[in-house]
Structure 1
């Protein structure tokens, strides 16, 4: 999108938002607007609202954060660009859109790079997370913390998936990503990239056998109605980022920068706790509706099958070093 047009649309949209936004701004010396593509009530949205409450209290009402969920300030890619240009102050986004911008994010988006959600948290909360934050900084984004995007697993309408051989010849919808297409090929399955909104009908009509996603998405999309076999292989455990525009950051005093960073870090366990509760709720809902969840599979053969994917996407010494550091993290 043309940035001048984007800037104009956002400014107009903010003016048209009316009295509520104007009143909000009048209450605070510093008003920060935060964008999210997820709907109202989603764990990421509620975590940033928690951050805003804490920030207002600890600044004695000087600093406020207004959260705009459900892509109210634009779809994810546009929201990221607007945050880079300082039109939006903060953004919560998945790592996917950054893969071509921040090379390090592509590495942590590889299949089975994380052994578990806990492993991902330890990696992202440590020196590796700091290294990736430097990559974001090069593109005018200051990382406040890393949220949890959940674990993506396979589900289908045909049979339980318990081993790699069960995937052979099956057709799975994947995101429009070369990494995902290559992942499915390495597992012996056929990848069918398609928009998310077409998945339900495509499974229902047999165009595809299944798809892959985290449990809340599997639940709220209704996909469990047409694909009752869900396997917790957790092939992708995706971090998400909460970042503030460098331009907005530099307008803050050093004291306010420190406060925002502190509260941003504190919002991370809040978000992860909300996410865990959401996963438990969704799992209970799909099981009650008749879904069959396969657990405790041997993941090693799935991991071993990724050798050609890693050979293709982990080609530079820097990438190989980062993978080694991630795998060595305990």
Structure 2
């Protein structure tokens, strides 16, 4: 945060890794606009998109030392800092979009956002990062049976690996940047991701089947470093929190529009969109939840609260 003593205007630096066309970046711009309006220009945000200040993890570390004020990270990345965020990676944790947002915007989600404070990271709000589904080059996935023997690229994340293996596939962790060539050359048979990523990565050009099984919905998190948060007055803190909440509502609409546009592009390119019987996939992946509860008994309570919500 820089502070001009003459006018006493404060500027918060916000860095993230996404391109400016991304619906999450559009949500961040809504945050910037809302804060400038609420503070009458006395507290503003300067955005550094496209990974200008480093990778997701590097920027989180800049927040912890106070060099950058705000960032957007995946809840999956946050689980390396705050174990409670692991919960959001459980397959079929949420019944639907409504259940997800009621959970995230209610007491359960808010409690998790605040848990980061002991690691100098205060959560402000959640952004929609969609649902992940399978896409493959040569074989349609209609039931978990169809995944047998297929190499599916996953993030290097234990829960994602366990889920694909539980469904009968062969989970293959791999850097995202290598994936296009890997699918093209048959090193892997497919991958899993949300529609905007499927299209923006151009994977739809070489993957002709997209199965909307929507196995996980890991949200994004808007974070502020506590070192910068504590420099704000109570009034300024309220402005930041209110602007974050408003931007989260705007971002949902940007995400929805992006999904619709991406699905149209994929269909027009000849991708076969498959709507499977989701219960077959959720049933088959139950062992992932059981293993998680054994490994993290201290987090079982959050899972139960979400399921009962």
Give the alignment's TM-score, normalised by structure 2: 0.95
1:291 to 271, 277, 280: 271
Kept after mapping to 1: 8 A contact 2:115/2:122 = no
Q: Please give the alpha-carbon distance, in whole angstroms, between the structure 2 residues aligned to 1:25 and 1:142.
A: 27
Matching residue of 1:248: 228
**What secondary structure is seen at the aligned counterpart in 2 of 1:185?**
helix
Q: Please give the alpha-carbon distance, in whole angstroms, between the structure 2 residues aligned to 1:49 and 1:307.
A: 39
Q: Is residue 2:111 matched to residue 1:135? A: no
Kept after mapping to 1: 8 A contact 2:34/2:246 = no
Q: Is residue 2:204 matched to residue 1:224? A: yes
Pairwise mapping of residues 1-330 of structure 1 onto structure 2 (< 5 A)? 29-295=9-275, 297-315=276-294, 316-329=296-309
**What secondary structure is seen at the aligned counterpart in 2 of 1:138?**
helix
Q: Please give the alpha-carbon distance, in whole angstroms, between the structure 2 residues aligned to 1:38 and 1:313.
A: 30
Q: CA deviation at 1:81?
A: 0.8
Q: Please give the alpha-carbon distance, in whole angstroms, between the structure 2 residues aligned to 1:55 and 1:134.
A: 21
**What secondary structure is seen at the aligned counterpart in 1 of 2:164?**
helix
Query: How many residue pairs get matched?
Result: 308
Q: Please give the alpha-carbon distance, in whole angstroms, between the structure 2 residues aligned to 1:304 and 1:75.
A: 36
Matching residue of 1:18: none
**Aligned CA distance change for structure 1 residues 28 and 170 (closer, same or farther; 3 Å):** farther
Q: CA deviation at 1:27?
A: 7.5
Find runs of 4+ consecutive structure 1 residues off by over 6 angstroms. 24-28
Kept after mapping to 1: 8 A contact 2:34/2:247 = no
Q: Please give the alpha-carbon distance, in whole angstroms, between the structure 1 residues aligned to 2:298 and 2:232.
A: 34
**Which runs of 5 or more structure 2 residues have no equivalent in the other structure?**
none
Point out the more displaced range, 168-177 or 115-124: 115-124
RMSD: 1.9
**Aligned CA distance change for structure 1 residues 283 and 134 (closer, same or farther; 3 Å):** same
**What secondary structure is seen at the aligned counterpart in 1 of 2:182?**
helix
**Which runs of 5 or more structure 1 residues have no equivalent in the other structure?**
1-13, 15-20
Q: Please give the alpha-carbon distance, in whole angstroms, between the structure 2 residues aligned to 1:51 and 1:28.
A: 21
Kept after mapping to 2: 8 A contact 1:49/1:66 = no
